[in-house]
């Protein structure tokens, strides 16, 4: 049962004004006076306010993280996994409350909010198993009586900069994997969604205190881009994992590279679905609509372009327009609604500018594109999802608009469709709908999709935690979550042991001192 906002915040121990930093077990109030009010995009209501951390606050957090890193890396990995397991259980207990808060603060549907918390639970389960599987390799040495192997060690502190659209799941992808790898984390959440971050750490605090763990293992710092800049410049943080726009990612990457640090980047997406004449059009329609309007088009994997084979272009276009007319737009807590609000007025402005731009370049709007006003839309953040007929080379089509606008583009051959799909700077997610096995395999081949994610008969949006998540080109090249993404959070060490009585040199080199 949904709770009142007041009761929800109380359950999650969200005060009207919260401290600026948390070192896992300790909250600290900043001496800084700069605060930010947090309003819900659902109805514009004030949820609370946060105080930004000062430079001294940030320094305190990093020092505590350094101390904790020295302790945490010596805890056996399975025992680190048991802490993550307990946190996963805590999330299960509070799934409904945290999911509702995600919906209220970010604007996604309640079901999507619950789904995001479930992703956190799933990654905790994955990380627990991983804590007993941090495997290295053994290699045969060319020298007699020698043994070679590799092992993986923690890197220390992981800095996490997350975006508003997945305010808690992406943090969990990074922090839970990093934790079982023996790292500690410093998290700067989006300034647009800080309350969910506070709630995550309130739940985490109980687990840490119960197990008598020191402060500094999981850390939270409130602030704007300045905190992110401090983290990127800080040589004490060997890895920065940043999720957001390509513009932001380039700045982070350049700053971290100057100090020869490591970056894990999950940036923009300009994702496309190819719909073949051999496709199941009913399934393709469902995937296209959800991919385009789910989370109001504010997923990094949202569908931005639909390449439709010319023989079925008009048929599928008409089906899509009809489906859009059936969309119910409104408060995300009402499960009868399909589409909630954009995150803020700035996002609405970006959306309307994209609608104008595609028309200016010669495209045609065939559905939506308006800003909704009146009762139920008082926040000013609700728009009608837009469908436009366009060309792939349009400047606006080449860009990522973080909102519910999709471009329909006709193609003749699959080779042409793949070439057009790949002809953007981003390379995150892609999909093809076809029941033709040759087309499916061509799409997945080396000459097919150039994206980090390539799907057949499912859409671009929605990824399971078991696979590595990320993309190529201006998406940043990073990989998070499943598969062997854990290796990014550790350092590889090659070891050679001589258990013989002589010292043969590699490559048969002779170095006789007698």
Count of positions (residues) in the chain:
514
CA distances from 17 to 32, 224, 230, 327, 471 (A): 13, 17, 24, 37, 38
Q: Is 266 a catalytic residue?
A: yes
Is 415 a known active-site residue? Answer: no
Distance spanning both ends of the chain, measured CA to CA: 85
Please give the structure tokens belonging to residue 251.
Answer: 């700045």
Strands 386-389 and 364-367: antiparallel
Measuring CA to CA, how many Å separate 418 from each of 198, 227, 387, 400, 421? 43, 40, 21, 19, 5
405 beta partners = 386
How far apart are alpha carbons 196 and 342 in whole angstroms? 17
Name beta bridge partners: 444: none
Where does 42-145 have alpha helices with state H?
55-72, 77-93, 95-106, 110-130
Q: Which of 86, 112, 215, 266 is catalytic?
A: 266
Give the integer Cα–Cα distance in Å for 201 and 222. 12
* Dihedral angle sign, alpha carbons of residues 198, 202, 203, 208: positive
In 10 A of CB 509, how many CB atoms? Answer: 7
Q: Long-range contact list for 133-140, CB < 8 A, 24+ apart?
A: 134/77, 134/180, 134/181, 134/486, 134/490, 136/492
The single-letter DSSP state of residue 455 is: E
**Which of 136, 484, 169 lies closest to 301 in space, CA to CA?**
169
Tokens of 29: 């109030």
Choice among 300, 381, 386, 451 that is catalytic:
300
**What is the C-alpha separation between 361 and 345, in angstroms, rounded?**
25
Q: Which residues contact 139 (CB under 8 A, 6 or more apart)?
A: 148, 149, 150
| Nearest C-alpha neighbor of 185 from the set 113, 106, 264 | 264
Provide the annotated active-site residues: 266, 300
């Amino acid at each position: 049962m949904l709770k009142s906002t007041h009761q929800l915040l109380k359950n999650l121990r969200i005060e009207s004004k919260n401290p600026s930093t948390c070192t896992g077990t300790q909250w600290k109030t900043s001496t800084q006076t700069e605060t930010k009010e947090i309003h819900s995009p659902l109805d514009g209501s004030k949820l609370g306010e946060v105080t930004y951390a000062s430079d001294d606050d940030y320094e305190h957090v990093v020092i505590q993280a350094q101390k904790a890193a020295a302790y945490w890396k010596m805890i056996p990995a399975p025992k680190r996994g048991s802490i993550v397991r307990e946190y996963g259980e805590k999330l299960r207990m509070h799934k409904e409350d945290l999911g509702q808060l995600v919906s209220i603060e970010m604007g996604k549907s309640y079901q999507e909010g619950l789904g995001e918390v479930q992703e956190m639970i799933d990654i905790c389960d994955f990380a627990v198993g991983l804590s007993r599987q941090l495997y290295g390799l053994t290699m045969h040495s060319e020298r007699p009586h020698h043994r070679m192997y590799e092992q993986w060690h923690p890197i220390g502190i992981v800095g996490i900069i997350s975006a508003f659209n997945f305010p808690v799941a992406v943090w969990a992808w990074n922090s839970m994997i990093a934790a079982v790898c023996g790292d500690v984390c410093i998290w700067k959440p989006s300034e647009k969604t800080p309350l969910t971050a506070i709630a995550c750490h309130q739940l985490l605090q109980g687990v840490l205190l119960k197990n008598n763990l020191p402060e500094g293992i999981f850390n939270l710092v409130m602030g704007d881009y300045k905190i992110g800049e401090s983290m990127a410049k800080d040589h004490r943080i060997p890895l920065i994992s940043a999720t957001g726009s390509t513009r932001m990612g380039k700045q982070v990457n350049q700053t971290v590279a100057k100090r020869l640090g490591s970056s894990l980047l999950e940036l923009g997406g300009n994702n496309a679905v190819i719909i073949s004449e051999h496709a199941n059009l009913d399934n393709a329609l469902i995937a296209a609509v959800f991919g385009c309007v789910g989370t109001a088009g504010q997923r990094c994997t949202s569908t931005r372009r639909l390449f439709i084979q010319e023989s079925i272009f008009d048929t599928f276009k008409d089906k899509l327009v009809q489906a859009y007319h059936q969309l119910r737009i409104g408060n995300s807590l009402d499960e009868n609604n399909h589409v909630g609000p954009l995150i803020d007025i700035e996002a609405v402005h970006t959306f309307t500018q994209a609608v104008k731009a595609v028309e200016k370049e010669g495209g045609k709007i065939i559905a939506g594109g308006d800003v909704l006003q009146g009762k139920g839309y008082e926040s000013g953040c609700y728009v009608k999802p837009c469908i436009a007929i366009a060309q792939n080379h349009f400047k606006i089509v080449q860009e990522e608009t973080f909102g519910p606008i999709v471009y329909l583009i006709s193609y003749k051959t699959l080779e042409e469709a793949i070439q057009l799909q790949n002809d953007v700077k981003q390379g995150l997610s892609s999909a093809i709908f076809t029941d033709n096995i040759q087309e499916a395999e061509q799409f997945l081949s080396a000459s097919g999709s150039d994206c980090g994610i390539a799907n057949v008969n499912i859409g671009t949006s929605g990824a399971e935690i078991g696979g590595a998540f990320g993309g190529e080109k201006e998406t940043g090249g990073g990989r998070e979550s499943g598969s062997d993404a854990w290796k990014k959070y550790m350092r590889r060490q090659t070891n050679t042991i001589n258990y013989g009585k002589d010292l043969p040199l590699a490559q048969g080199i002779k170095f006789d001192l007698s």
